[in-house]
């Protein structure tokens, strides 16, 4: 790649529409250009990096025996109709019609197509296990395309799918993919964390995400300060405290608490009217009951009550994460009035649950465990129950992980550790789909006994174009991009610095030697008005790991080698420079 002819224009100024550093630098260094919002063109330098990332992914997928195929991006509606995703995706996909009026979509992900392909070709347990993958362009009409390649509307994904006869087989396929992902992300050389992605509490299947640690990330997760636990906020499972004895607890008693419909007003009232001997009352001593309405996929609506400590809020995303695909809405006035036994501000367990006066389904936060004592609504205006003991005075229909997760919360995985939140970019996702797609599309095989069984599947994605941006984001510095060697667009960036013919001759010879030895070179051979300063700035911006300057030193037979990351410089004899550089770039 000669800078004199390379299809690149570096920019000195930051583009105004680029909000994150990787996006700015990929534009400025001439790796990509914007074609439309969330849609980018790859230039030669960018394409080199992209191909290297793809290469690493292919090697690791091939190594676990996955076979590469390639699907079209333009897909018919019917398979997506069969799994209901044509509807579920809503505005999230690009839809189009052919000249006959038939519906098509641009594939956002390919579970349906892979399932149908395997159904088309395979019919026996002997054909399985099978893993197929592709590296392919995906389309999603993202509500907020952002940060360049990080969230595009057209982007490149490696997606693979595993097919097994039974759960044990799926577990093996899942583990193989997970191991391959660890190798891929280790080789890509950035800082990542594997987080638990679904709680599984309500029968959700196993799923983990690979997140790149990055302040610009859109995903919030929590990690333990003491052990290696990490999970999506939605997937955090609060450890239920051990049951405590309530032998010494007084009988529950109803008290007048006029004008206390909120937790704050209740706590103030308790502290003035019923002061505790040991410590003041706090919000965490109260049991708050929140009412929501569940919207089931078939359109039916169901009220639900959630009981949680008064110092916690219901986290809508966590709640929906447990109930997917059910949607959750706050209970509005009209709905509320349908349940006359509910007294706003004073709702207690007496009205809730299977045996409660309203018979609304009632689920508790795991912290409201056997033997814990609460102040809660007495289902009469201006009155609360005190010393109401869970398990003795009330029970619910189950527990639910709906309370917000906070920094400092106890770690569910170890003793004494606490959680802290962090931000990341989702780079990959491994997911046990189970039989959902195979069932909707009727993918069955004959088992050993000649009986038809539904195949169980896994789905595994890596954001390939997103990885380019995420690695850039993780490695860049104030002066430019700074690629890890394995995915840099070249091994060495040679700058011919000076006007003398001798400099250019020496540089040409060095480059010829390097290329002959199989080293990828960007050669800044630009002559004329381009100053060495401009060439150095471009080299730093482009971010090839080793920068070689052939300049005035050639009269003494010397060149300068600089490490782009550390900035360390060393002189090298021109004689034998090819071998020395080869050693450097091959490690």
Binding site for ligand ATP (CB under 6 A): 109, 140, 142, 151-152, 155, 157, 426-429, 461, 463, 465-466
Q: Which is nearer to Mg ion, 219 or 524 (CB)?
A: 219
Q: Tell me how far, at minimum, the Cβ of 294 lies from ligand ATP, in Å.
A: 23
Binding of residue 429 to Mg ion (CB under 5 A) = yes
Q: Which is nearer to ligand ATP, 152 or 353 (CB)?
A: 152
Point out which span in 10-18, 324-332, 422-430, 445-453 binds Mg ion (CB under 5 A): 422-430
Q: How far apart, in Å, are the Cα atoms of 377 and each of 290, 310, 353, 368?
A: 12, 12, 14, 15
Which residue's C-beta sits nearest to ligand ATP?
Answer: 463
For the chain, the helix, strand and coil percentages under 3-state DSSP, each to the nearest 5 = 30, 30, 40
Q: Which is nearer to ligand ATP, 286 or 465 (CB)?
A: 465
Q: Tell me how far, at minimum, the Cβ of 66 lies from Mg ion, in Å.
A: 19
Nearest alpha-carbon partner for 39 in 141, 153, 151:
153
Q: Tell me how far, at minimum, the Cβ of 461 lies from ligand ATP, in Å.
A: 3
Q: Tell me how far, at minimum, the Cβ of 481 lies from ligand ATP, in Å.
A: 19
Q: Tell me how far, at minimum, the Cβ of 331 lies from ligand ATP, in Å.
A: 29
Q: Which residues of 385-397 are buried (b: 16+ CB within 10 A; e: fewer)?
A: bbbbbbeebbebb
Taking CB within 5 to 8 Å according to partner kind, which of ligand ATP, Mg ion, none is near residue 289?
none
Point out which span in 302-310, 403-411, 429-437, 465-473 binds Mg ion (CB under 5 A): 429-437
Q: Which is nearer to ligand ATP, 151 or 535 (CB)?
A: 151
Q: Tell me how far, at minimum, the Cβ of 267 lies from Mg ion, in Å.
A: 41
Taking CB within 5 to 8 Å according to partner kind, which of ligand ATP, Mg ion, none is near residue 142?
ligand ATP
For Mg ion (CB under 5 A), the number of binding residues is: 1
Q: Tell me how far, at minimum, the Cβ of 309 lies from ligand ATP, in Å.
A: 30
Helices (H), 100-234: 111-121, 167-188
Q: Tell me how far, at minimum, the Cβ of 194 lies from Mg ion, in Å.
A: 13
Binding of residue 339 to Mg ion (CB under 5 A) = no
The number of residues making up the chain comes to 587
Taking CB within 5 to 8 Å according to partner kind, which of ligand ATP, Mg ion, none is near residue 151?
ligand ATP
For Cα atoms 27, 31, 483, give the angle at the middle one, nearest 5 degrees: 105
Binding of residue 466 to Mg ion (CB under 5 A) = no
Q: Which is nearer to Mg ion, 350 or 461 (CB)?
A: 461
Q: Which is nearer to ligand ATP, 234 or 525 (CB)?
A: 234
| Tokens matching residue 10 | 């570096």
Q: Which is nearer to ligand ATP, 114 or 155 (CB)?
A: 155
Q: Tell me how far, at minimum, the Cβ of 137 lies from ligand ATP, in Å.
A: 11
| Tokens matching residue 180 | 């391959």
Q: Which is nearer to ligand ATP, 135 or 224 (CB)?
A: 135
Q: Which is nearer to Mg ion, 312 or 429 (CB)?
A: 429
The enclosing H or E element of 330 equals strand 327-330
Taking CB within 5 to 8 Å according to partner kind, which of Mg ion, ligand ATP, none is near residue 349?
none
Q: Which residues pair with 352 in a beta bridge?
A: 360
Q: Which is nearer to ligand ATP, 48 or 466 (CB)?
A: 466
What is the C-alpha to C-alpha distance for residues 291 and 305, in angstroms, rounded to an integer? 5
Nearest alpha-carbon partner for 227 in 412, 42, 38:
412
Taking CB within 5 to 8 Å according to partner kind, which of Mg ion, ligand ATP, none is near residue 110?
none
What is the C-alpha to C-alpha distance for residues 587 and 585, in angstroms, rounded to an integer? 5
What is the C-alpha to C-alpha distance for residues 377 and 234, in angstroms, rounded to an integer? 28
Pairing of strands 253-256, 103-106: unpaired
Taking CB within 5 to 8 Å according to partner kind, which of Mg ion, ligand ATP, none is near residue 171?
none
Taking CB within 5 to 8 Å according to partner kind, which of Mg ion, ligand ATP, none is near residue 463?
ligand ATP
For residue 93, give every residue at least 6 positions away whose Cβ sits within 8 Å of its Cβ, in sequence order, or none.
105, 106, 108, 139, 140, 141
What is the C-alpha to C-alpha distance for residues 16 and 480, in angstroms, rounded to an integer? 17
Taking CB within 5 to 8 Å according to partner kind, which of ligand ATP, Mg ion, none is near residue 412?
none
What is the C-alpha to C-alpha distance for residues 196 and 253, in angstroms, rounded to an integer? 43
What is the C-alpha to C-alpha distance for residues 278 and 286, in angstroms, rounded to an integer? 16
Q: Tell me how far, at minimum, the Cβ of 166 lies from ligand ATP, in Å.
A: 25
Rg for the chain (alpha carbons), in Å? 31
Nearest alpha-carbon partner for 304 in 316, 293, 289:
293
Please count the other Cβ atoms lying within 10 Å of the Cβ belonging to residue 102: 11
Q: Tell me how far, at minimum, the Cβ of 60 lies from Mg ion, in Å.
A: 19
Q: Which residues pair with 303 in a beta bridge?
A: 293
What is the C-alpha to C-alpha distance for residues 526 and 163, in angstroms, rounded to an integer? 54
Taking CB within 5 to 8 Å according to partner kind, which of Mg ion, ligand ATP, none is near residue 428?
ligand ATP
Nearest alpha-carbon partner for 285 in 297, 300, 298, 271:
271
Q: Which is nearer to ligand ATP, 26 or 157 (CB)?
A: 157
- Chain residues that interact with Mg ion, rule: CB under 5 A: 429
């Amino acid at each position: 790649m000669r800078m004199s002819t390379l299809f690149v224009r570096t920019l000195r100024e930051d583009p105004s529409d680029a909000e994150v550093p990787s996006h700015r630098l990929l534009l400025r260094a001439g790796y990509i250009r914007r074609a439309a919002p969330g849609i980018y063109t790859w230039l030669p330098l960018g394409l080199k990096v992209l191909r290297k990332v793809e290469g690493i992914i292919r090697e690791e997928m091939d190594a676990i025996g996955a076979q590469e195929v390639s699907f079209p991006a333009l897909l018919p509606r019917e398979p997506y109709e069969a799994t209901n995703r044509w509807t579920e995706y809503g505005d999230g996909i690009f839809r189009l019609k052919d000249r006959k009026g038939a519906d098509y979509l641009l594939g956002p992900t390919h579970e349906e197509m892979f399932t149908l392909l395997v159904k088309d070709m395979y019919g026996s347990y002997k054909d399985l296990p099978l893993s197929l993958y592709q590296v392919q362009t995906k389309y999603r009409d993202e509500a907020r395309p952002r940060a360049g390649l990080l969230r595009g509307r057209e982007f490149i994904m490696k997606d693979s799918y595993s097919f097994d006869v039974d759960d044990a087989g799926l577990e093996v396929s899942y583990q193989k993919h997970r191991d391959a992902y660890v190798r891929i992300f280790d080789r890509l050389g950035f800082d990542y964390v594997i987080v638990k992605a679904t709680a599984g509490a309500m029968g959700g299947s196993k799923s983990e995400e690979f997140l790149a640690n990055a302040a610009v990330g859109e995903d919030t997760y929590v990690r333990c300060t003491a052990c290696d636990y990490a999970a999506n906020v939605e997937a955090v499972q609060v450890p239920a405290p051990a049951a405590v004895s309530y032998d010494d607890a007084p009988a529950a008693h109803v008290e007048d608490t006029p004008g206390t419909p909120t937790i704050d007003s209740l706590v103030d009232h308790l502290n003035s009217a019923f002061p505790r001997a040991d410590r003041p009352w706090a919000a965490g001593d109260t049991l708050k009951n929140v009412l929501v309405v569940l919207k089931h996929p078939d359109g039916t609506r169901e009220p639900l009550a959630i009981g949680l400590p008064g110092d916690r809020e219901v986290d809508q995303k966590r709640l929906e994460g447990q109930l997917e695909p059910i949607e959750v809405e706050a209970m509005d006035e009209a709905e509320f009035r349908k349940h006359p036994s509910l007294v706003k501000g004073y709702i207690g367990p007496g009205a809730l649950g299977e045996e409660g006066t309203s018979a609304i389904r009632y689920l508790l936060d795991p912290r409201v465990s056997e033997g814990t004592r609460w102040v809660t609504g007495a289902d009469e205006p201006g009155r609360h129950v005190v010393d109401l003991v869970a398990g003795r005075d009330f029970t619910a229909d189950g527990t639910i992980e709906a309370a917000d997760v906070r920094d400092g919360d106890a770690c569910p995985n170890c003793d004494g550790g606490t959680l802290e939140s962090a931000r990341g970019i989702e780079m990959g996702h491994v997911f046990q789909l189970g039989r959902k797609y195979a069932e909707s599309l009727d993918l069955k095989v004959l088992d050993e006994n000649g009986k038809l069984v539904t195949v169980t599947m896994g789905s595994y994605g890596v954001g390939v174009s997103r990885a380019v941006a995420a690695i850039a984001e993780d490695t860049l510095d104030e002066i430019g991009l700074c690629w890890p060697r394995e995915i840099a667009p070249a091994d060495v960036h040679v700058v011919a610095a000076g006007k003398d013919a001798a400099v250019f001759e020496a540089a040409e010879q060095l480059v010829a030697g390097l290329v002959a030895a199989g080293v990828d070179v960007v050669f800044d051979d630009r002559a004329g008005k381009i100053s060495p300063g401009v060439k150095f700035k471009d080299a730093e911006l482009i971010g090839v790991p080793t920068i070689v300057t052939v300049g005035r030193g050639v009269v003494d037979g010397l060149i300068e080698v600089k490490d782009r990351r550390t900035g360390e410089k060393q002189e090298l004899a021109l004689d034998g420079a090819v071998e020395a550089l080869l050693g450097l770039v091959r490690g």
